[in-house]
Amino acid sequence: MTFPAASLRSPGPAALAAVALSLLLLSGCATGSPAPAPSTATAPPTPPAEPSAVPTEDPDAGGTAPAQAFDGDCSLVFSTQEVTDLTGWAASDPVQFVSTVPDMALVHQVGGIGCVWSPASGDEGYLQLTVVPQKRLSNQLEEGTTCFLQSEKTYICAIDLEANGYHLSANFTTANTASYKKANTISGRIADAFTEHADEQEEAVTPKQPKGSWPLDFTCADLGKKAKVGKALGNKNLAITDGGGDVQVTAAETDLWGGRPFLRCYWADPDADPDAGTDSGTISQLTVAVLGGAAWTQQGIAVLPGAQEVDVEGAERAIIVTDPTDSSGLGSSTGDLHIFDGINWLVLSADGVDPSELYPAVAVLLKGLDTL
C-alpha cells in the first residue's frame, strides 16, 4: 500500500504537545504531573482508617483483561530496528502505555495497544502510536497524514489509517536532517509497514463493554449534577469543570475519549487563594478519573509501589497508591485513591491532600455514576 500525498491534512496545534503528554503518561518515562490541576488545600480533619498491609495480586480480581491487538506486543507492530530504519534515529525498545490510569487503560479496554519508542541516544525523536479496532472509533476520524516543521529541519507527523480492521494512529518526529518531502516519505513507509504487519494478524476483534459498566460518554457537567462532591468534602464552593486543556496523545485516543482531553473531571474552588498552601483546612481542588468495566485493572494497581489496601464506605475495594516516585497515577504528590465498584473503576486525587481525606466523596460519586 502506498500512502497518497493527496491525503495530507492541515496540521493542528495539539500535535505539538503529543510527545510531552505521552511521556507523562507512560511508566518509567514521566517526571511530572500528567494533567494540570489547580492549587490545593488540606481537607477537613476526618480521622482516616489506618491502611492495612500491602495487597497482593489476585489473578481473578475484577475479571479478565480484554485481549489486546497484536497480542499486546509492541514489537509485533514494529520492531525496534524497523523503527530505527524508518525514522532515521536510533530507537530504544518500546514502552507500552500503562493501564494504571483510566485514560490509558481505555486503549486496552477496547482491545487496543499503545506504544512509544524513544531514541537510544540523546537525539531528539519519538514514535508513539495507538492501535485499536476500527469499529470502536467514530466515523469522524479520517485516514491521512500531516507533517509540519517542529524545529530546524525536524518535522512532526501524524498518521491515521486502517488495515485488516485495525486503526493505526501515530505521531512521530524525523531526524534533524529531514526535509518536508522526506518526512512525508517516512510517513508513507510507516503506513506501508503497518499495513503489512496488520495483514499478518488475525482480523481485529472488538471486545464488548461489560454489562453494568458506567457509560463512557457522560459529561463532567452531568456527573457534577449527580454527585454533590463539594458538600461531601466540606467545601460547597467546589465547582465542576471539564478542565485539562486540549492536548492529545493520538487522534484515536481523543476519539475514544469522546473528544474530551482526558477521561477526567475536575472540581475547583474559584475563590481559593492559590498561595494559601495546604493549611487552610478545606479542599480546593479534586481530580476524578473514571472507566466503566475496567475493574480488571486492580490486578496491576494492587502491586504498584506504595499500594495499600484501605476500607472506604461504599466501595467494594479501595487501594491507595502513595509512592511519590511512581509515575503511573494522576500526578498527585500525595497519592491516588483507587476505588473498585463491581466491574467499574474510579480514581480520586488532590495534589497536596492525603488521599484518605477524600473518602467522604466516594459514596456520592459512586451513587452519581450509577445513575448516569
Residues 238 and 278 in one domain: yes
Per-residue pLDDT, 281: 63
Per-residue pLDDT, 7: 31
Q: Of 169, 199, 229, which one is at a domain's C-terminal end?
A: 199
Rounded mean pLDDT, 100-109: 87
Residue 180 belongs to what domain range?
5-28+67-199
Half-sphere exposure of 10 toward its Cβ, with a 13 Å CA cutoff?
1
Using one digit for the tens of pLDDT, what is the confidence trace for 206-223? 888 889 999 888 888 899
Confidence class of residue 6 from pLDDT cuts 50, 70 and 90? very low
Residues 193 and 283 in one domain: no
Is 265 a domain residue?
yes
Per-residue pLDDT, 274: 61
User: Helices (DSSP H) in 36-79: which residue ranges?
Assistant: 74-77
Using one digit for the tens of pLDDT, what is the confidence trace for 151-184? 888 899 999 999 999 999 999 998 877 789 999 9
- Cell readout for 321 is 497508591
User: Helices (DSSP H) in the chain: which residue ranges?
Assistant: 18-24, 74-77, 80-87, 102-109, 180-199, 220-226, 229-232, 251-256, 298-301, 359-370
Is 205 a domain residue?
no
Residues 153 and 23 in one domain: yes
Is 35 a domain residue?
no
**pTM for the structure as a whole:** 0.78
Is 37 a domain residue?
no
DSSP 133-170: EGGGS-TT---EEEEEEEETTEEEEEEEEEETTEEEEE
Domain containing 185 — which CATH number? 3.40.1000
Looking at the 3D structure of the chain, how many domains does it have? 2
Maximum pairwise Cα distance, the chain: 63
Is 207 a domain residue?
no
Residues 231 and 263 in one domain: yes
Is 149 a domain residue?
yes
Residues 90 and 187 in one domain: yes
Is 153 a domain residue?
yes
Residues 193 and 289 in one domain: no
Q: Quick one: how far is CA 305 from the chain centroid?
A: 19
Is 209 a domain residue?
no
